[in-house]
Amino acid sequence: MTNPDSKQPVFTQDIRAVAQQLSSDPEHGLTQAEAERRLAEIGPNQLSQAKNVSPILLFLKQLKNPLLIVLFFGSVLSFYIEHYIDAIAIMAIILINATISFVQEFKAQRSMDALRDMAAPKCWVKREGEWHNIAAAELVPGDLIKLETGTITPADARLVESVQLQIDESALTGESDPVRKKIDPLNDENLILADQINMAFMSTAVTHGYGTAIVTGTGMKTEVGHIAELMASTEQRLTPLQLRIKNMSHILIWAALIIVSFILALGFFQGMTFIDMSSTGISLAVAAIPEGLPTVVTIVLTLGAYQMMRSNALAKHLTSVETLGSTSVICSDKTGTLTQNKMQVKQIWVGGKQFYLDGLGYEPKGQFFDHNQQVIDPNRDQQLTNMLSMSALCSDTRLVEKDGHYTIHGLPTEGAIVVAAAKAGITKEKLLADQDIAHSFPFDSSRKMMSVIVYDQNNQAWLYVKGAPDVVMSRCDYIMFDDEKHAFSKHETQAQQAVADFAHQALRTLAVACRPLTEADLENPDIALETELTLMGIYGIIDPPRPEATIAVKECHSAGIGVVMITGDHAETARAIAYQMGIVKQADAPVITGAQLNAMDDSQLFDQVKDVRIFARVTPEHKLRIVRALQAHGEVVAMTGDGVNDAPALRTADIGVAMGLSGTGVAKESADLILLDDNFATIVTAVREGRRIYDNIRKFIRQALTANVSEVSALLFAFMLISSTFDDAGNLVVLLTLAPLMILWVNLVSDGIPALALGIDGAESDVMKRKPRPSNESFFANHLSHRIVIRGLVLGALTYGVFKYAIDQGFSLEYAQTLAFMTLIFGQLFHIFDARTFTTLYDRNPFSNVALLWAVAGSGALSIAMVYWPYGQLVLGTTSVGIEHLLMVIALSALPTLILSGIKKAGQVRWL
């Protein structure tokens, strides 16, 4: 944080210098008149709010879809040539597509609103020597504010007074522990946010102690405001699905324009009337464009989102459902995402003996193991029991249970040793039944220790001490070693080595010691009492990985997905956790820190980012740079996080994943996907679901475009083979194989209804064994385009052949078109069983998707009804046909799929 009037950061200046630059008083604060003047000049202590797009403009935006624009012109032309039913039907399709898209976008994120909600509504400020409780929005730079346990810091401020003050900055910096605050100036101007320990930042929570501070930044001039600016300036990229649909739309539009232009030119030279050419053009445009594509894709994604929600993954944006299936790299925050965000004792060194603990979170359940990893009863080891008992008594933190869930009230590190004791059945409440705490000396940052005076059941006074090992051991004269009391110097080397071993594993350490007291000792101050101690043992504490997250990392690797840890924590801690979880394979894997990132330009980061899996001590800007560098390599990046500091990167990533339970409101609003159970493993479930959905969308596109090729080719054959006649005026009239509304029916009903069933089709067996698909991979990759064209042309030729047969037999145009209509519909219904697999229909059980069977049966029945129902005949232009002809075309329509799939299966022809 830099004062606007000085290039020197305020955390490097003493309090008087800061107060002077801000024209403030560190004892009495500002005058009321001066505060009002500054408020009028600078503005309220609020984050700026972006203007929301009006619902009307948002709806009109949906109409920019190129496919809908082409259909709109087709509708207008239909009105002009008085084909009113066609025009109304096409316009209805346009409105349905636009409405579905509008509803989804109307639920867009409100990140800035969430940031504003985090601001403290009220705060204590000192003006003219008197404390006032005012709205946080009225704060100005130079105000003197009060910080107390349980309050939210209302603005960025330089600390003036700090009494045991600790602030939880994890949401802003990624640090897992509350930060102990000091007031002394810091020497390094390049300190990252997490190391600016004489500063308090907006929206962080005071967890312990109290203090006062001078406001140095308000509103958008705070660190949270800086993040808000990053978010506001960060444009979300189109998802891979959106890009693919956009590219495919352009291809379809150009194909439609070329075909329509060719046919119109041909019709013009053949002497067709404008009305007939227009009718033909509308038919071809409708045939070339899959009208149901936007609607079906949206519905398929919605169904997928529902399935994911049942697995505790809430998709805020439908396109994010598919994007997960494209993910090639997951950038994950450490604290609370890969780890439990609950400190735990994992190892205990007690006088030469090593013990290990397991368990989850703060639940007081877990086993103790000896150095051979054999389960032991901790109460059978007297020295271990004594150490756990002393630790429970020498603690102000309480373990609280509510509805089967355990939390702590107090400091996380203290909570870890309280839970460790509880796992052995030792609690402070039980111990106090026959012991008594006479006095407590709270933790002090200068002493780095806490101690209590306890009277045991024999009324003997004891001093129990816990604190930083280097400080505690410097005051030890004795050590309990192999259940006997020895001079500390005799085993000092072993004790120091235990501390070093814990540190090498990135474990935080606490030492426990004691001494008996006489009545005379009780009159002495804590400094005098905390000497001549006997070392009992050392705790190794860490915020451990989530077990299920470790399994999920392994699954990600098997699916070809890289995992990158990006954390605000220290490098050694991050490396140890990454190694434990299998994110990296070497215990000495490379780590890039925030300081190193500052020294790199974007090209240097680009060169290294693919080879590094751990980034530590990073800022929000660093996270953005890392995500963008990976994206520059063509990676589809998912970013997980739970804090305010994660929000810009969550927005920039191809898909942002927030924690639902522990995540801040800002993170949730900025994300595309929310894990309702905070379980990293849920991401793997979501990836599997995303891949399944993408497969099903490709299968629908194959089905839909095969129908479009069939329709267009059936119409083209009519032109090329001159299925025509002359009207009374001598004008050439081309006999169209299909009427426009017949084509609409095929696209929306015979394709649309079964396509919805394809949306819930189960995943194929190899879905999580494939590598992530490239972000620029087309829908038509792996010969899909060849299959669409070949199957479509064959079915189109068959459709035209049935039509030509009926015309040659002297049947009416309506009768011939109805037979062609039936041929095309049932050809598509048979084809869908081949389209639901990337192999052939002979390799997948056709009865495994019951919904698809019902959809095919329903689509076929509805289509037959439109042939024999008078109102159906009126709308579509169909006519009743003989049962023998209906059975004939149903049998013929099965042949293309059965024969071509058989050839593909027998000859292993991948492109067929």
Strand partners of residue 726: 732
Task: Yes or no: say if 272 and 734 are a contact pair by the CB < 8 Å rule.
Answer: yes
* Cα three-residue angle 358-452-480, rounded to 5 degrees: 60
Q: Is 47 within 8 Å of 225 (Cβ atoms)? A: yes
CA 482, CA 352: separation in Å to the nearest integer? Answer: 6
The answer to whether the beta carbons of residues 642 and 669 sit under 8 Å apart is: no
3-state secondary structure of 78: helix
Q: Are 297 and 756 in contact (CB under 8 A)?
A: no
Which one of the listed residues 333, 642, 672, 834 is annotated catalytic? 333
E strand or H helix at 850: helix 850-868
Contact 211, 165 (CB under 8 A): yes
> How many angstroms separate the CA atoms of 612 and 387, rounded?
41
Can you tell me the distance from the alpha carbon of 502 to that of 347, in angstroms, rounded to the nearest whole number? 8
Cα distances (Å, whole numbers) of residue 650 to 205, 379, 674: 22, 48, 11
Shortest CA distance to 306 belongs to which of 853, 686, 766, 758? 686
Count of C-beta atoms within a 10 Å radius of residue 46? 15
Q: What residues are paired with 780 via a beta bridge?
A: none
Can you tell me the distance from the alpha carbon of 239 to that of 656, in angstroms, rounded to the nearest whole number?
Answer: 12
Query: Within a 10 A sphere around the Cβ of 247, how many other Cβ atoms?
Result: 14
Of 222, 323, 331, 314, residue with least CA distance to 682? 314
Q: Is 232 left (phi over 0), alpha (psi -120 to 50) or beta?
A: alpha
Helix then strand count (H, E) for the chain reads: 33, 30
- Phi, psi values for residue 373, rounded to 5°: 65, 30
Instruction: Look at strands 344-350 and 724-726 and give their pairing.
Output: unpaired
- Reduced to 3 states (helix: H, G, I; strand: E, B; else coil), residue 677 is coil
Q: Which helix (H) or strand (E) holds 529?
A: helix 526-529
Q: Are residues 138 and 44 in contact, defined by beta-carbon separation less than 8 angstroms?
A: yes
Task: Give me the count of residues in the chain.
Answer: 912
Is residue 654 part of the annotated active site? The answer reads no
Dihedral sign (CA 699, 702, 705, 711): negative
Count Cβ atoms within 10 A of the Cβ of residue 303 and give its class: 0-12 exposed, 13-18 middle, 19 or more buried. Answer: middle
Tokens of 468: 């930083």
Contact criterion met (CB below 8 Å) for 219 and 43 = yes
Round to whole Å and give the CA distance between 514 and 517: 10
Residue labelled with tokens 């630790």 = 391
27 backbone dihedrals φ, ψ, rounded to 5°: -110, -40
**How far apart (Å, rounded) are the C-alpha atoms in residues 885 and 800?**
15
CA 575 – CA 545 distance, rounded (Å): 12
Q: Hey, is 518 helix, strand or coil?
A: coil
**How far is residue 218's CA from residue 154's CA, in Å, rounded to a whole number?**
8
Q: What are phi and psi of 117, to 5 degrees?
A: -65, -25
Nearby residues of 619 by Cβ (< 8 Å), 6 or more positions away: 192, 193, 568, 594, 645
Handedness of CA 686, 688, 692, 698 (dihedral sign): positive
Contact 123, 134 (CB under 8 A): yes
Catalytic positions are 333
